Amino acid sequence: MISFESDYIAGAHPALLKKLTETNLESLTGYGNDPYCESARQKIRAACACPEAEVFFLVGGTQTNSVVISSMLQEYEGVLSAQTGHINTHEAGAIENTGHKVLSLPQTQGKVSARSLKQYLQDFYQDANHEHSVFPGMLYLSHPTEYGTLYSKQELQDLSCLCRSHGISLFLDGARLGYGLMSQNTDVSLSDIAALCDVFYIGGTKVGALCGEAVVFPRHNMPRHFLTIAKRHGALLAKGRLLGIQFDALFTDNLYFDIGSHAIHMAEQLKQIFRENKIPFYLESPTNQQFVILENGQLEQLKKNVLFSFWEKLDENRTIVRFVTSWSTTQNDLDALAQAIAAIQHE
């Protein structure tokens, strides 16, 4: 059965597996101190146009969010997030497990606006009792968001500016960053992100790696003893090579960006299939996650031949579902999908 269930349904991009195999018997020191980790760090610095950046490899997204957020917040601070943000909804309370509150901001299509952030900050500091409340210490964004949407450069600049003027760190969750950077509708580059954020990560797990996220601190602002902090969260890999080798491969010969481009190309074809079959979109997403509205009969038919994700019920008769492309999506997958959809249209 063809699957558009997520961007982590396949193993690793073959180039990564190849490099893991080639280097397999080399004897390397552990915990991220091997030459492949160092090489990957250098390549990431270059890609970010940020030669002084500190780069640390962690294993997965939820882990990265909780280690980064808790290490950068003061005890009396919480993290601001879109109400629909991953840390606020689908991470099983991992942030609260570190003792910090997720402070919810209103959102539109998964995005927060400088306007609503400004309002939040104004209300907070006007409250005579704000010392009895959690201080906003960080803004968490995901780019692409949970809904596949992207911030424009102007939007990021406005948020960044507001954060800096209030002493709030800006953290960008880039679990799907590769797909965001290669969207046809973005003016945001990796170096823009490095310039505007205080910390961000370049997602590996959803962009071709078996696992791994590269956290980037662009301005010598990695929390002191970050390795110890990661260990304390159970996030330090003994065989750090597993992460270093994969990111070294991802940032060799433009692979990370090529993976992104391929998935975007597939997503654009996928959008065309839905459009041609008059299946409406829930929202306009410029990346590899596409949300469409199926009538319940269509949904039942389609799921006999295709795997995709249930998102939420729109009403009694219609359901929002998600289709995702990735580096592993093939033209065959799309052709089969086109057939399957055409079939349900004609029943």
* Strand 169-173, strand 318-324: pairing: unpaired
CB 41 within 8 A of CB 35: no
Shorter beta-carbon distance to a copy of itself: residue 151 or 201: 201
Total residues binding a copy of itself (CB under 8 A): 86
Residues 113-142 that bind a copy of itself (CB under 8 A): 126-129, 131-135
Residues 270-309 that bind a copy of itself (CB under 8 A): 307, 309
Q: Which helix (H) or strand (E) holds 279?
A: none
Q: Which helix (H) or strand (E) holds 158?
A: helix 153-165
Q: Does residue 9 interact with a copy of itself by CB under 8 A?
A: yes
How far is it, in rounded angstroms, from Cα 12 to Cα 17? 6
Residues 312-341 that bind a copy of itself (CB under 8 A): 312-313, 328
Q: C-alpha angle 10/15/16, rounded to 5°?
A: 70
Shorter beta-carbon distance to a copy of itself: residue 126 or 347: 126
Among the residue ranges 159-167, 187-195, 226-234, 255-263, the one whose residues contact a copy of itself (CB under 8 A): 226-234
CB 12 within 8 A of CB 250: no
- The DSSP symbol for 31 reads T
Q: Does residue 216 interact with a copy of itself by CB under 8 A?
A: no
Shorter beta-carbon distance to a copy of itself: residue 101 or 318: 101
**Residue of 25, 51, 220, 332 interacting with a copy of itself (CB under 8 A):** 25
Q: Does residue 167 interact with a copy of itself by CB under 8 A?
A: no
How far is it, in rounded angstroms, from Cα 87 to Cα 68? 12
SS3 130: helix
**Residue of 170, 182, 236, 250 interacting with a copy of itself (CB under 8 A):** 236
Closest approach of a copy of itself to the CB of residue 98, in Å: 8
Closest approach of a copy of itself to the CB of residue 311, in Å: 9
Using alpha carbons, list the distances in angstroms from residue 265 to 259, 271, 279, 285.
10, 10, 19, 13
Closest approach of a copy of itself to the CB of residue 52, in Å: 22
Closest approach of a copy of itself to the CB of residue 245, in Å: 8
Q: Please count the other Cβ atoms lying within 10 Å of the Cβ belonging to residue 135.
A: 18
Closest approach of a copy of itself to the CB of residue 193, in Å: 22
**Residue of 156, 177, 188, 237 interacting with a copy of itself (CB under 8 A):** 237
SS3 13: coil
Using alpha carbons, list the distances in angstroms from residue 160 to 54, 118, 191, 257.
20, 12, 14, 25
Residues 51-110 that bind a copy of itself (CB under 8 A): 59-67, 70-71, 74-76, 78, 89-94, 96-97, 99-102, 104
Q: Does residue 241 interact with a copy of itself by CB under 8 A?
A: yes
Shorter beta-carbon distance to a copy of itself: residue 39 or 309: 309
Shorter beta-carbon distance to a copy of itself: residue 51 or 92: 92
Shorter beta-carbon distance to a copy of itself: residue 36 or 151: 36
SS3 163: helix
Shorter beta-carbon distance to a copy of itself: residue 30 or 280: 30
Q: Does residue 144 interact with a copy of itself by CB under 8 A?
A: no
**Residue of 107, 142, 205, 301 interacting with a copy of itself (CB under 8 A):** 205
Q: Please count the other Cβ atoms lying within 10 Å of the Cβ belonging to residue 236.
A: 21
* Strand 199-203, strand 169-173: pairing: parallel
Indicate if the alpha-carbon torsion angle 8, 10, 15, 20 is positive or negative: positive
- Return the residue matching tokens 């927060």: 112
Closest approach of a copy of itself to the CB of residue 161, in Å: 24
